[in-house]
Amino acid sequence: MRIVVCIKQVPATNDAVIDPETKRIVREGVQAILNPFDTYAIEEAVRLRARLGGGVEVLAISMGPPRAEAVLREAVALGADRGILLSHRAFGGSDTWATSYVLSQAIRTIGNVDLVICGKQAVDGDTAQVGPGIAAHLNWPQAALVSAVREVSTQHLVVVRMHEDGHDVCELSLPAVLTVVKGINVPRVPSLKGVLAARKSEIPVWTPEMIGADPAKIGLDGSPTRVVRTAPPPPRNKESLRFTGTAEVCAGGLLRELRKRSLL
Amino acid sequence: MKEHIEKRAYHVEILPPKQDSAKLDADLAGFAEKYQRVMASGFCACITDNAMGHLAFQGPEVLEELRLSVPPGQVMIHLNTFHTKESLDEILVTCRRQGIRHLLVISGDGSDRLPKLQPADVGATDVEAVTSVELLRYIHRQYPGDFETGVAFNPYEPPEHEFEKLVRKCAAGATFVITQPVIEKHPVVDQLLATTTLPIVLEAWMSKKLHLLSQAVGYEIPEDTPFDPIATLRMLHQTYPACGMYLSLLGFKTQYDLIRDTWSVPTSKETR
């Protein structure tokens, strides 16, 4: 059995800046991290491998610039067996549809993939579209916002899918695509041994030709959507209050303030 | 711990490399150099656990990976409540395997990336959150006789609250106490010495940047406040001769050689 985890390198949230010209997130010179939601996807894949016993391989794949190799090494340090980077100038400017096409082509190329797991969304774009997009390109069943995998076999999954009014319990036949939410597990912290092993891990770089991608379906030309305007959210009113005195006096002051603002 | 103080062995804090280190090899080498220096001095290396919530590698795994020997009684591991149960047990089992007996058990600082132990993880049924007390109970219940556990004491917190917590920590198995940084004779430290028979180790702040302590002590220390850590260390020895000393932020290049003669041979009445 083979599980593929799709991951993304994103700017550290506090550093995200939009280029006013291109309307794209400025990534150069900004600290880059593994998309936090993807850590849950990696952890779930590693846990499913353990639940299924031997013969399960976990692969992490990512589309991005060469430096995105770092998040693939992180995935290996967290327990993935290996990583593959999809990197080429022609992939640049891909929207969520083109990105999910590229990832689906990579999944086809890997072959014998039974399950694809993504984080529910990337914290830079916040679209939550790539996971479902992969399922659409592959024409596989999908469950988004999965908070638990109740049953797993090499043939099927039973998962809990969150929605606004509660949750659904869904059965999916494999192959399938899942996007997972934060509460599904508690991701492990990489061990030193894992990090050192990951540094030695070979991360192959795949190009459009290597995954048989149609040039008309990738990059800006293959993207049916365009960001035409970007605006920052209105600034939040930040206010700080300092309470002084004994613990009782401070606690009383805080309580009064919270009540005054109808927060209690 | 009593023997550490009797032997006048400093407790020297060492931070393991951070998880996001861009120069991991250099950081590992630096860690090994500091550790070996502390071992050669006969002191006790105190290895932090994700200090300030910054993700770092765990002390026991670093010692194991670097194949650094653990002389009996010369290593203390900080252990806080920000772990999964699996990683907690892995740390404790590794410590036991390496012969590390001393643990400083603290609640610790969390971060988005650090999992927090849940009450069920440590078999606690009467609390909503795991503190050092529940962690202490768990360690002594699951690993009976394997560890000597110490706890933190903050003289800058309201004393009645801090002493009440200390009673609970002692009841949960704490056998020594390490304070927050002490920079002068302090009435709450005096009270601590007067009310407990446990070995007390004072944290001595070895950075010249005293203002960094502002948050810990609860009042603003101006950035340009002059501070001589070595002179303060000598003063602490004179003021509190029965206490051990925990050296935080010690400069290995500039200060290490200077601390050798700061703690003279004890007289019999000085030891607790």
> For chain B, how many structural domains are there in total?
1
Rounded-to-integer distance, Cα A108 and Cα A106, Å: 5
B267: in domain: no
A261: pLDDT strictly greater than 90: no
B266: in domain: no
A246: in domain: no
Q: Are strands B244-248 and B11-14 parallel, antiparallel or unpaired?
A: parallel
Return all residues near B209 (Cβ < 8 A) that are at least 6 apart.
Answer: B223, B227
Give the global pTM.
0.81
Return all residues near B38 (Cβ < 8 A) that are at least 6 apart.
Answer: B12, B14, B44, B45, B74
B125: pLDDT strictly greater than 80: yes
* pLDDT bracket for residue B269 (50, 70, 90): low
pLDDT tens per residue across span B221-266: 888 889 999 999 999 999 999 999 999 999 999 999 999 888 875 5
B175: in domain: yes
How far A77 CA lies from chain B's nearest CA (Å)?
A: 11
pLDDT tens per residue across span A13-38: 665 677 777 766 676 777 889 999 99
Q: Tell me if chain A has a CB within 8 Å of the CB of B218.
A: no
pLDDT of residue B149: 97
pLDDT of residue A211: 97
How far B20 CA lies from chain A's nearest CA (Å)?
A: 10
The CATH code of the domain that includes B252 is 3.20.20.220
- Which range marks the domain in which residue B86 is found? 2-261
A127: in domain: yes
> For chain A, how many structural domains are there in total?
1
A20: in domain: yes
Max distance between CA atoms of chain A, in angstroms, equals 69
Residues 198-227 of A with CB under 8 A from B: 199
pLDDT tens per residue across span A27-73: 677 788 999 999 999 999 999 999 998 899 999 999 999 999 999 99
Q: Which residues of B touch A188 (CB under 8 A)?
A: 84, 86-87
pLDDT of residue B117: 93
A222: in domain: no
What mean pLDDT is reported for chain A?
92
Q: Which residues of B touch A246 (CB under 8 A)?
A: 158
A235: pLDDT strictly greater than 90: no
A228: in domain: no
Q: Rounded to the nearest 5°, which phi and psi values hold at A23?
A: 65, 15
Smallest Cβ distance to A192: which of B61, B114, B161?
Answer: B61
Q: Which of A174-188, A217-231, B207-221, B258-272 has the highest mean pLDDT?
A: A174-188
A188:B84 CB<8 A: yes
Q: At what angle do helices B132-142 and B85-98 cross, to 10 degrees?
A: 60
- Which range marks the domain in which residue A173 is found? 2-217
A186:B24 CB<8 A: no
B271: in domain: no
The CATH code of the domain that includes A207 is 3.40.50.620
pLDDT tens per residue across span A102-143: 999 999 999 999 999 999 998 888 889 999 999 999 999 999
Q: Tell me if chain B has a CB within 8 Å of the CB of A194.
A: no
Smallest Cβ distance to A189: which of B62, B65, B87?
Answer: B87
Q: With the CA atoms of B262, B266, B267 and B269 taken in that order, what torsion angle do they form, in degrees rounded to the nearest 10?
A: 110
